[in-house]
Structure 1
Amino acid sequence: MKIRLASYSLIICFFLVTDDAYSDPIRDANRLLQVTDIGKHFEVTAQLQTRDIIRTYVSIVSMSLEVTLPEQIKNKIASCYAKVYAWENFQPGIAQIFAENLSQKELRLLIDFYRNLGLPPMEIKAFKELISKSEQIRRMSAEYIFLNSGSCVDQDAGVINEYLANQQQPIKTAIISD
């Protein structure tokens, strides 16, 4: 019984110690995304862009038709963008890009760096080489997002046009009935 318990303990220790040595690149890429908080930054950027899009719609409708879009319409538009540009839609693909373009060592170096574990002096050259890959990874990520994102433009136009048609309906009725 003691031998069996010792064997299990040894196996558990082996897995705990070797976990880093045989780590999965996707898991490390996801860990990197987590420690850098890229998802939060992505969501904030998407919200700011959505706000700007809604402001543009409001401005166009206000200037051309002198009509104010109600909050309900703005919320429908924002809801579409929140669904289409949710980080969860892109995170697996971005993690894949990181895993395919960064070595395990590079992923670990970045994870440690972002966890404020510092950068060993002997890794400075490797870190500089790693930074040189950032533009390519940024481009690939942007292309991935572009190719894998939906569009809200048709829905936005439909919601706005429906609202405007309903706004003009009472005016036409009043003119016809006089």
Structure 2
Amino acid sequence: MENLENALGKYHNIKLKHVIPPVDMMPVVCYNDPIIKVMELLRSRHHVWVINCKEEGSLLGVIKYLSVIDFLLPPDKHNLYIGSTRSALKSVIGGAKTAKEVMEKNALTINHNSTVIDALLKMKRYNVQILAVLNDEERLIGEISLKILIDKFLSLCLAQE
């Protein structure tokens, strides 16, 4: 039990920049990439980050797996009410062609100098399992997921044995 507590103490203070996988392993598209490219990535991932490739990777938004429903439904099948026309506009039949047109603009982010405990608290507060990791210049450099955090904790526990 003491080893577990020691591992947790170390774990909570690890900076995210030491935990995140390489950026080239992430599902990323440029804002002007076609929806087909987004859907190809979503066949095997639960999200795709959308960046501005002209500005060296500034994060613009995220497209989640369940958003594919909005792409595939015709505009007349969306439940429309005041303030909800956005999902109908995400439809391919409704005219959406690029990642920027279907992304959610408010992706949850965290700075790379934040700690594991900061990430866990933010995930809990917003009930999410993944956060975009940004550097000090607000560029996307990685992602931190609950799976990555579990893997890191287990590796610390096994190293304690």
TM-score relative to the length of structure 1: 0.27
Q: Which has the larger radius of gyration?
A: 1
Q: Which structure shows the higher strand fraction?
A: 2
TM-score relative to the length of structure 2: 0.29
